[in-house]
Chain A
Amino acid sequence: MSTIFKVSYVVQGGGHPGAIVNEDKKPEVGQRVTLGSKEFEVVEVVDLMPARGDFSFLHVTVKAIGN
C-alpha cells in the first residue's frame, strides 16, 4: 500500500482552528490547499512524529491566500 499522510494543518496568525486530514500525497511548500470553504498556501512542512506502518505524520503550516 502507498503511504498515507496524516496531516495537522495549522493556519498562520490564528483565527482558524486548522484541520486534521489524511492526504494521498505529501503537501509541498507553495501548494494551495482547501480546508472547508477556504483556500490556503502551504508555507512549511515538517515531520510531526516518526512514520508507523503505512502512515506518515506531518505538521503543515499554511497561510490564507491573499494575506
Chain B
Amino acid sequence: MTLSDRLSQVELFEGLEPDELDQIAAICEERTLSSGHVVAKQGDAGDELYIIWEGLVEVVHEETPEDPAPRTVVNLGQGQVFGEMALVDFGPRSATVRVISEKAILQAIPREAFLEACESHNHLGYAVMRNMAADLSFKLRHQHLIGR
C-alpha cells in the first residue's frame, strides 16, 4: 500500500482525489518515536501537524495557575490527527502530547508546505479544512461524552 493509499484512510483527507493525495504524500515526513517521547509541548510554538500512523499518544493539559492539576484529556490512536490548532491559528500548543505506546510512527506535515498546498488547490484546501473542522467537532463531542 502506498503512502497516498494510507492517507486516504485518514479522515482529514477524506474526499481528496488521487493526485491531491499524492501532493499531501509528497510533503509528509515520517517519524518513529519511542515511548515517553514528547511530540509537542504545551505553550511552545508549533509549526507541524501530525498524523498517527501507528501507536498511541496521550494529550495532557499541563498545570497552569488556573488549573493546578495536570490531566490527560484524551488518548489518540491510529488515523488521528493532532497539532492542527497551532498550525491554523498560529497560537501556542494547547496541550502536551506524549507517546505512551512502546513506539509510535507519525507523519509530520510542516505548516508552510501544508498551507501552500491548501491555498494553491481550491478543492484540496476546501476538503481538508472541512475535514479538520469535522475532526475538531468529533473531539469536542468526545469531551462532552467524557463529562456526562
B75 near A17 with CB under 8 A, answer yes
B interface SS class: mixed
Residue of A nearest to B101 (CB): A36
A10 near B79 with CB under 8 A, answer no
Residues 71-103 of B, flagged 1 when their CB comes within 8 A of A and 0 if not, give: 111111111100000000000000000001100
A interface SS class: strand
Residue of A nearest to B74 (CB): A17
Compute how far the CA of A18 lies from the CA of B80 in the bound complex, rounded to whole angstroms: 14
Question: What is the count of residue pairs linking A and B with beta-carbon distances less than 8 angstroms?
Answer: 79
- In the A-B complex, the 6 residue pairs with the smallest Cβ-Cβ separation, listed nearest first, are A22-B79, A21-B77, A19-B75, A8-B142, A53-B14, A17-B72
Compute how far the CA of A55 lies from the CA of B11 in the bound complex, rounded to whole angstroms: 7
Count of chain B residues near A, Cβ 8 A? 29
Count of chain A residues near B, Cβ 8 A? 22
A6 near B79 with CB under 8 A, answer yes
Task: Pick from A52, A55, A59: contact of B145, CB below 8 A.
Answer: A59
B141 at the interface (CB under 8 A from A): yes
Given contacts A20-B80, A36-B56, A54-B8, 20 further A-B contacts (CB under 8 A): A4-B9, A8-B138, A10-B142, A10-B146, A17-B59, A19-B76, A19-B77, A21-B76, A21-B77, A21-B79, A22-B77, A22-B79, A22-B80, A35-B75, A36-B75, A36-B100, A53-B14, A54-B14, A55-B14, A59-B145
